[in-house]
Chains A and B, each alone.
Chain A
């Protein structure tokens, strides 16, 4: 049976429709995916992402263990900073994509995907054997996670007595309180908007959710947002979703995440394979596509150049913000500049390669 987050009962009372995702019974929508999507782009939305996992790394060897398992350079993190980082296998395939928070001098925390939480926990405990002085604490059950996202997220935080939140820099993190409830707050998200992610004790997650919901007023709307809109929001922002853009068969270099792979930091799991891949150039590349004819590209649809299959769509939808059919696709590197089409139910629909992200919020670069 699917697991439920500490907020399940609140979602049910709010009339959410549920879906199973990575073994969890999660709200997929409340009012409708497009309305929820627009709510986040225009004001603020609350997401229950308590299914995500948290693995804390502590001790004198904490930094060394983080450096060993993940591709980004954790030594660049000051206390109160976070970074996007990827875990790879020895052959450079992706185990998971994560955010790493530096909470203290010798205290780091990885936020991992729900579907990979157990794998990551087992993996890092195995890697721990090679690094003296590092402890791994599984905090997956102990912590809930609420994302507050949207251009008005900082206003919502202020009204909910989370005065420290708007002071956080992008990718900053701090142990603070919101509505008097202790949280680990970070200025991170998965929507392409400004916003925060709040780790909270599972037992207090419902109180925090209610406190954030209750500050809503006519001039500052806040709504609950399901996984359906979370997916369309992240896709417009061209943020990868594990199992679609990333997998054991796809390296972070192929997925366009080379900026989070710091080969110069020294050896780490997968570094040799990734260095070799970088030198010869990745065989595939993740690109953004926009369909030029009627139709919607969906995950697993073939991408063609003429009659030749040159890749596959990893995610696709009709963009609620742009009104066009957008997709991310993994293509053979030599074909990324060729004329492309997506095969939609046996028909070739002309596709144009476009820059990502598909959507960029005002004021962001």
Chain B
């Protein structure tokens, strides 16, 4: 399981890369592995307002439908237009070509409770032993 040290993570298995006021968001390697083959992705539109903890997108595998929750609040600045035609990018490169959206962060974006790679690794291990 790949967990880049420079990213932040959520309990809903998203990753966040923060660059100034813009956050790039995707789902983690662990999440894509649990989902299996991703065959459909639904993304918000540029300009949509997303609220932390609300579902902003959907990832469907062969078997299951999963919501993707916004790890932060802000406005959608860009979406990955390659995903609708190539949803398998999420399996192949979850932290790279499989990114989902970029959000321009608002005030009170909710950065405080994001996890570091170490904290997320522990979170997954604890979830697995429950």
Contacts and interface: CB of A to CB of B under 8 A. Distances in A.
A296 B84 contact: no
B62 A298 contact: no
A347 to B, nearest CB: 10
Contacts of A228: 36, 62-63
A232 B60 CA distance: 14
B36 A32 contact: yes
A296 B39 CA distance: 9
Contacts of B36: 29, 32-33, 228
Contacts of A29: 36
Interface string B50-84: 00000000101111010000000000000000001
Contacts of B63: 28, 33, 228, 231, 317
A32 B39 CA distance: 12
A298 B61 CA distance: 11
Nearest to A345: B58
Given A32-B37, A295-B40, A296-B40, A317 B58 contact: no
A182 interface: no
Nearest to A320: B62
Nearest to A298: B65
B36 to A, nearest CB: 6
A294 interface: yes
A68 interface: no
B81 to A, nearest CB: 13
Nearest to B87: A318
B40 A232 contact: no
Interface in B111-128: none
A33 to B, nearest CB: 4
Interface string A311-347: 0000001101000010000000000000000000100
Interface string A164-184: 000000000000000000000
Interface residues of B, number: 12
Contacts of B60: 296, 318
B96 to A, nearest CB: 20
Contact of B40 (A28, A32, A33, A318): A318
Contacts of A325: 40
B66 to A, nearest CB: 12
Interface string A9-38: 000000000000000000011001110000
Contacts of A34: 37, 39, 62
A28 B36 CA distance: 11
Contacts of B84: 294
A28 B40 CA distance: 20
Contacts of A345: 42, 58
Interface string A225-242: 000100110000000000
Contacts of B40: 294-296, 318, 325
Interface string A264-294: 0000000000000000000000000000001
Contact of B37 (A28, A33, A231, A296): A33
B100 to A, nearest CB: 16
Nearest to A317: B62
B125 to A, nearest CB: 18
A194 B37 CA distance: 26
A320 B40 CA distance: 12
B54 to A, nearest CB: 14
Nearest to B64: A298
B20 to A, nearest CB: 33
A317 B40 CA distance: 10
Contacts of A317: 62-63
A318 B63 CA distance: 9
Contacts of A232: 62
B128 to A, nearest CB: 13
B91 to A, nearest CB: 8
A231 B84 CA distance: 24
23 contacts: A29-B36, A32-B36, A32-B37, A33-B37, A33-B62, A33-B63, A34-B37, A34-B39, A34-B62, A228-B36, A228-B62, A231-B63, A294-B40, A295-B42, A296-B60, A298-B65, A317-B62, A317-B63, A318-B39, A318-B40, A318-B60, A320-B62, A325-B40
Interface of B: 36-37, 39-40, 42, 58, 60-63, 65, 84
Sorted from nearest, which 5 A-B pairs have the closest CB atoms?
Answer: A33-B62, A318-B39, A34-B37, A296-B40, A32-B37
Given A231-B63, A294-B40, 9 more contacts: A33-B62, A33-B63, A34-B37, A34-B62, A228-B36, A228-B63, A295-B40, A296-B40, A325-B40
